[in-house]
Structure 1
Amino acid sequence: MTGWAQLRAALAVEWLKFRRARPAQVTTAFLVAGVTALCVLTVHPPAGGSSLTAAKAQSIGGEGGWAGLFTAADTIIAVAGLLGFGVVIGWVFGREFTDGTVHGICAAPVSRAAVAAAKLLILSAWAVATAVGLAAALIGAGLILDESGEPDLRTRVGKFLLVAVLTAALALPCAWVATLARGYLPAVAAVIAVVVLAQMAVLTGIGGWFPFSLPGLWAADTGAVPAGRLLLVLPIPVIGAALTVHRWQRLVSR
């Protein structure tokens, strides 16, 4: 088979596996429904809550309305998205080793590089679709709650989608970690460690130069991160994807 034929065959198989994957289904539901609920609670905290909780919600959601809803979404997705996307990416690659299905992949006529590329393409499409679904859910929630005070909603939505997609892109190296460690748990541990490091970078004042902190800081509109610095994010997914495909090309069944 030609390279394109192998990729098409791999895409068909990998898509069938992915759409049946329970971790992907649960994570999608959490990122769409769960994050939407968190954003709504941030902008409209329940009556009778503690003053500390209300103050925290105020610091994230600001004055409320459409601006507060999407500001909360930007902040939450920068952390929850990195965890959620990272876990699913690590699982998609790592499960082949923990379930022993990698032996069949190594014996298949489709190249291992094509399989890895197909996984990455499907995961990328899923991440974009999840971001769009979450944006739609936020708009729906805002309309139901009759939010106001935002003259340019399209700008807010576009900014959120950029933050969400960049966050998903930063999680792509989890595929390489799962392949290198031959399991998904090390990838989960790695993405948790990255989230902790990103928060520490922000607290120590170097988050503006740490790629994994950049989407969230830029979304905060504090002026600490100019839009051009988001270009520092781009090498992370490119290098992660290249290392993953290269590793799969050299993969040997054990």
Structure 2
Amino acid sequence: MTNFTAAWETEWLLCLRSTIVRIATALLVFVIPAGAIGAVALSRSGTTATVTTAKFAPYASGPLAETHVLVAAQVMSVALLMAGGFAMAWTFGQEVASGLAGARTGMATSRAGVALAKVLVHLTWLTGCVIAVVGLTVTASALVCAVTGVPFDDGAWSRAGLALVAGLLSAGLTIPFGWVATVTRSPLGTIGVLIGVVVVTQLVTALGGGAWFPYAAPSLWTEMGGPEAAAAVGLPHLLLAAAVMPAGAIAVVHAWRRLDDL
């Protein structure tokens, strides 16, 4: 337990000092709430440009606070996957590519323990980002409602719950990229796979199979594809998406355990 604690503290320190993590945190925590508030304000200002009218149309009506949080949930479900995927490419790929992972052989903490610590630190960081995004969005929305004299609708709280769950699911979906980074030994290769997954997600969704595709289900659940697409996402689809996280964690820990054989 002591050895794992040491690995946890080391990986947490590396996470805090990572430029990628710092940039991603700032973008997630501050840009998403501001973007959600701004998108709704623009859609209801009557000045939306013609080319963006259709895109902003879903935000032009409905309870104000509820819409703010829903937009944040939609953006976060995609942004978190990209930010987390980039971070996993760095966390695992850089160490394997540089040969530092091999130097862990003589350490008290096993490489499997180090990999598990990396995964848990990564999830802790993303969970904090999700909570911060939802909290700041709700707070900013309440301020906007107070300034404009619009009631803060109770539906915002249920949307906040949806945003939290969707965000946590998206965080879990980034874990398999640690396995990709390990077996490819390439941070850039991992980013390529991440982009490929995003493209495949779009294709599968367009073909109508998004609900059963783990990387599409959380976004669809936040009504990114419209209310009808969201209604098609049920508990089995969300559980399937949730299963990606433990499966990815097991895969990456196993890959690090047999790192010399890869």
The alignment status of 1:136 with 2:139, answered yes or no, reads no
CA distance in 2, matches of 1:248, 1:61: 49
Between stretches 141-150 and 194-203, larger displacement belongs to: 141-150
Match of 1:174 in 2: 177
The question of whether the paired residues in 2 share the 8 Å contact of 1:102 and 1:253 is answered with no
The alignment status of 1:44 with 2:52, answered yes or no, reads no
CA distance in 1, matches of 2:48, 2:133: 26
Helix, strand or coil at the partner of 1:205: coil
Deviation at 1:5, TM superposition (A): 2.1
Equivalent of 2:199 in 196, 199, 203: 196
Match of 1:76 in 2: 75
The question of whether the paired residues in 1 share the 8 Å contact of 2:40 and 2:68 is answered with yes
Equivalent residue letter for 1:231: L
Deviation at 1:68, TM superposition (A): 1.1
Match of 2:144 in 1: 145
TM normalised by structure 2 equals 0.89
Name the CA shift for 1:173/1:60 in 2 (closer, same or farther; >3 Å): farther
Unaligned runs of 5+ residues in structure 2 are: none
Name the CA shift for 1:227/1:56 in 2 (closer, same or farther; >3 Å): same
Equivalent of 2:256 in 244, 248, 251: 248
CA distance in 2, matches of 1:52, 1:59: 15
Per-residue CA deviations over 1:75-117 (Å, capped at 9, x if unaligned) read 2122111111111122111111234422432332221001001
CA distance in 1, matches of 2:234, 2:61: 21
Between stretches 164-173 and 194-203, larger displacement belongs to: 194-203
Equivalent of 1:206 in 182, 204, 209: 209
Percent identity reads 29
Q: What RMSD, in angstroms, separates the aligned Cα atoms of the two structures?
A: 2.0
Deviation at 1:169, TM superposition (A): 0.5
Equivalent residue letter for 2:77: A
Equivalent residue letter for 2:111: R
CA distance in 2, matches of 1:182, 1:6: 26
Equivalent of 2:234 in 204, 226, 236: 226
Deviation at 1:253, TM superposition (A): 9.3
Deviation at 1:34, TM superposition (A): 1.4
Match of 1:7 in 2: 4
Match of 1:57 in 2: 56
Deviation at 1:218, TM superposition (A): 1.7
Name the CA shift for 1:99/1:144 in 2 (closer, same or farther; >3 Å): farther
Equivalent residue letter for 1:59: P
